[in-house]
Amino acid sequence: MNILYDEQVDGVLPDVDKAALLQALQRQWPDLEVLHQLEELKPYECDGLSAYRTTPLLVVLPRHIDEVQGVLRICHERRVPVVARGAGTGLSGGALPLEKGVLLVMARFNNILQIDPEARTARVQPGVRNLAISQAAAPFGLYYAPDPSSQIACSIGGNVAENAGGVHCLKYGLTVHNLLKVEILTVEGEHLTLGSDALDTPGFDLLALFTGSEGLLGVITEVTVKLLPKPQTAKVLLAAFDSVEKAGRAVADIIAAGIIPGGLEMMDNLAIRAAEDFIHAGYPVDAEAILLCELDGVEADVHDDCARVRQVLEHAGATELRQARDEAERARFWAGRKNAFPAVGRLSPDYYCMDGTIPRRELPGVLHAIAQLSAEYGLRVANVFHAGDGNMHPLILFDANQPGELERAEALGGKILELCVKVGGSITGEHGVGREKINQMCAQFNRDELTLFHAVKAAFDPGGLLNPGKNIPTLHRCAEFGALHVHHGQLPFPELERF
């Protein structure tokens, strides 16, 4: 079933007079940059999920908050949908534009407003790159913990919208755990502050509700994040295994031993060979799987934890154990992991990245099932992921130039996500739902839950103008999806009309 916006199942969007809208924006804000020619719009047709493209009606690039307010108010008055975009690195189509909508690009809001070393906070605009926060905090011995693989390019506004994680989120948490406050504008251009400079506020936790809402509830204009002191030391262990199942069991064994690593990552042989060829990280290319386990903190504690982890890994059947000898080797180990996605991209013209989560105890069985699905669909799958928190990133390799391969990759991806749900997991851990997983939301949630999600959306955006068709499927879409996917002989939402 096509994941692009379909008015038949996603809701009819109002027709927009492009010339009149452009004139209204330019009349109110003569200096506002508005792109409207086809050749100007083309670069904004997609985000990091480049298999799907839509040309936006207009692209707006504001520099000041009053311009953002003006755009939102004009679009609200004219019932024009608005899709907010940061750096465009997202992998779920969350910033995929609409043909009948405005793409609001916040990339020029890229100032670091304040680093407060005493409070250990940073106040930044949404277009600031994730890594730039840590670079600005480094002179004070501080850093920002969430570190997505795209941290060199992704923006903090996008991180908040998707609740991004990263290699070290096992110990230090996702974006939501590292936020204090966000400033947002509603669909009507009204200002709201969610959270505070204090650690907690009374009432419902609207900051947590907003984090991961994928642009459906408001537009971010400022973010206050927590900073952490750099650990005294950090050591990385590399463990090789002769099967992915053994590596999967070792992950659960480490956590069961009461050890919470700073990072615990897994790569299978296809990913190992790709990363080694690309980065020369020193990975054992004959291993079926490797684990990278980073332990950080006080020197004495890290020394003891390394010894304990070694025992666990040996007992789990590791065929090789290596500890990074110095900071340069530690950096190489992590460079291989952080560059695994582009490395795998060298093996195939295209790849499709999944983002399901599962309980750690299910890792061996799920990895085995993915291998079976890979053989069934005739497509290679490279596994490289945050093993410590069960956040899977199967990379499905395909060639979009070959008829039917994209559709086969989509079908395989859907099966993997439904497998994650079946074993007690979720369809997304950090990339978000966007458009990519909109159909699988129908498998994860029932009608009552989806109705509640729509009610929350309506409380912030009654007209449904902010990023429509993302994250929360309509019941009609789920009815159509259910008609195509029969589970245990029963259709989801049997009372809804099938198209």
Whether the Cβ atoms of residue 460 and residue 217 lie closer than 8 Å to each other: yes
Q: What is the pTM of this model?
A: 0.93
- In order along its 499 residues, the chain shows pLDDT tens digits of 467 899 999 999 999 999 999 999 999 999 999 999 999 999 999 999 998 999 999 999 999 999 999 999 999 999 999 999 999 999 999 999 999 999 999 999 999 999 999 999 999 999 999 999 999 999 999 999 999 989 999 999 999 999 999 999 999 999 999 999 999 999 999 999 999 998 778 899 999 999 999 999 999 999 999 999 999 999 999 999 999 999 999 999 999 999 999 999 999 999 999 999 999 999 999 999 999 999 999 999 999 999 999 999 999 999 999 999 999 999 999 999 999 999 998 999 999 999 999 999 999 999 999 999 999 999 999 999 999 999 999 999 999 999 999 999 999 999 999 999 999 999 999 999 999 999 999 999 999 999 999 999 999 999 999 999 999 999 999 998 876 554 443 444 444 443 3
Q: What is the pLDDT of residues 289-336, one digit of tens each?
A: 999 999 999 999 999 999 999 999 999 999 999 999 999 999 999 999
What's the burial of 140, exposed, middle or buried (CB within 10 Å: 0-12/13-18/19+)?
Answer: middle
How big is the chain by its Cα radius of gyration, in Å? 23
Q: What is the pLDDT of residues 442-489, one digit of tens each?
A: 999 999 999 999 999 999 999 999 999 999 999 999 998 876 554 443
Q: What is the pLDDT of residues 358-377, one digit of tens each?
A: 999 999 999 999 999 999 99
Q: What is the pLDDT of residues 79-105, one digit of tens each?
A: 999 999 999 999 999 999 999 999 999
Tell me the C-alpha distance between 96 and 87, whole Å.
12
- Maximum separation of any 2 CA atoms in the chain, in Å: 71
Whether the Cβ atoms of residue 130 and residue 148 lie closer than 8 Å to each other: yes
- The structure tokens 């068709």 sit at 469
Domains observed in the chain: 16-105 (3.30.43.10), 112-229 (3.30.465.10), 233-342 (3.30.70.2190)
Q: Which residues pair with 35 in a beta bridge?
A: 59
Residue whose C-alpha is closest to residue 384's, from 244, 237, 252? 244
